[in-house]
Every structure is written in C-alpha cells, then in structure tokens.
Amino acid sequence: MPLSIILPCLNEAQSLKTLIPRLKQTHADAEIIVVDDGSSDGSANVAAQAGAKVISHLYSMGNGAAIKSGARAANGDVLVFMDADGQHDPQDIESLLTELERGHDMVVGARRAESQASWGRWCANSFYNWLSSWMVGHTIADLTSGFRAVKANKFKEFLYLLPNGFSYPSTITMAFFRAGYSVGYIPIVAHTRIGKSHIKILRDGVRFLLIIFKIGTLYAPLKLFGSLSLGFFMLGLSYYMYTFITAGRFTNMGMLLFTTSLLIFLIGLVSEQITQLLYSQKKD
C-alpha cells in the first residue's frame, strides 16, 4: 500500500540531515512529509534539499497541529508518524507495517523502560498507561508514543478531535478504542534525541495532568466519574456513620459529601451522552 511518512518538526535541522536520507534508504518509495512548525533554524530548507515534501507553518502551532497538516497533505493509504529528533529508528517502521498487515488499524511503537528520558517521565507514562488500560479494558503499552503506523482513512476520521498540542497520541488512541478499531503494539527502543527537548517540565507537566481527565472524557466518562462519585458516596456514608455513633446526628459535612457524589454522577451521565453524540456524528 502507498506509504506516507510524516515528521512534525520544530528546529530539528541537525537531525533531519541524517534522518531523511536514512528514510529514503529504507523506504525509497514512501512519501516523506516534513511539517515545519515555525522553525527558526532552517529546518524547512534542510528537509527540502534532502528531497522531502515540506509543509511550513508561519508560526509554531503545536505538535498536534503539525500532525494534522501532514495527514491532510498525505497521499498514502498508510501513514507513519515519527519524531524528527532522531529518537525513532527508521528500521522499526517495517515492524510497524508488518503488524498493521496482520489486521490492526493502528500499530504503536511502545517504548521500553530504558527508553524513558527520566525516572519522573517513566512514572508519569506508567500511570497514564495504567489508567487508560483500566478505562478501555485492554492493555495499552504506551499511550503517549509519537511513533505509530495507521490506516489513513481511519485516522482522518478523527482529525477534528485532535488537539494542537503534545497530547494528540493519547487522543487518537482513545478515539480508536472508542470507535472499535484495533490497536496493536510492538516494543521499540527510543534513542537519545538530537538537540534540545521542546517539553517544559512545569508547563507541560500541568498539561499532561489534564490528559488524565481527557482520557476519561474521550472514552467512557461515566466510568471515570462514576468511580469518583462512588468514592465520595462511601466517604460520606462513613462520615455519617461516625457522626451518628459519636454525636447522634447527621452533619452538614455528611450532606455535602452526599451532594458532591450526586453532582459528580450527574456530570458523568451528561458527559457520557455528549461523548456518544460526538462519536456518532457523521464523518466527512
């Protein structure tokens, strides 16, 4: 099947000098698209000189926005997304495609523990993987990996859902599970990136925490909010029993906990209906 390899790029001129020739060597017939997200180091010129198709943003719009621009411009039936910073090995693309041919709709390169940039990031990714696996009822080996191969027609169904920031991998993964599409994983080793990371610990740490709630609202809001509601209900019940035994009365705090439990459940119920409508609307 025709293949398009899409590389979102922000000031990655140094790594593109070696990455694009390697891609051409391993996949000579593939369409290589570099989406320059407002780089200031001449990344677009380096990519063009190396023979890649270049799409340029006038200013930095975000990693997810670059992914969407690349997907819209791609002509391949299969899309491969990989980082432009040298972390992903072009040799692993063949393994992704082989697994895709087995019947999956998307195959993700799951980073091994030794590939994590830091202990803190490993802990965060492990938590995301556990939470998302609990939500969907299937093992998700790497929720946030940016190295993946996917059938183009299915990926483009969800372009309207994808955010412009770094959380596009988690969004597309949960969207595929919600739609009933098959997602597979293969283990990979991510190498040390070339150049400086664009992820800021404080800024992106807060943003990644929001992914936790986004995971729930994208896939099964009632499952997430229902669990929180049950937790508050049990807390309220326990507090009521304690105050009844010790003071013989029902306190305002007990009422607040029960009310909070009910409100959280209702929010989950409404979110479930909204999510159902979101996924059932007709795709172009």
| Residue range 2-33, pLDDT digits in tens | 999 999 999 999 999 999 999 999 999 999 99
Give residue for tokens 């070696």: 18
Strands 148-151 and 53-57: unpaired
- Beta bridge pairs of residue 149: 80, 107
Closest CA to 208 of 276, 120, 78, 275: 120
pLDDT at 284: 46
Q: What Cα–Cα distance (Å) separates residue 172 from each residue in 44, 145, 158, 167, 199?
A: 27, 11, 7, 9, 20
Query: What average pLDDT score do residues 67-81 get?
Result: 96
Closest CA to 233 of 209, 208, 201, 258: 258
Res. 80 pLDDT band, cuts 50 70 90? very high
Tokens of 75: 């002509």
Res. 209 pLDDT band, cuts 50 70 90? low
Strands 148-151 and 78-81: antiparallel
pLDDT at 191: 76
- What is the Cα–Cα distance from 237 to 246, expressed in whole angstroms? 14
Res. 200 pLDDT band, cuts 50 70 90? low
Domain ranges of the chain: 3-218, 221-280
Amino acid identity of residue 283, one-letter, is: K
pTM listed for this prediction? 0.80
With vertex at residue 169, the alpha carbon angle to CA 223 and CA 178, rounded to the nearest 5 degrees, is 35
Give residue for tokens 């899309």: 79
Average pLDDT, the chain: 86
**In terms of CATH architecture, what is 3-218?**
Alpha-Beta Complex (3.90)
Residue 103 has pLDDT above 90, yes or no: yes
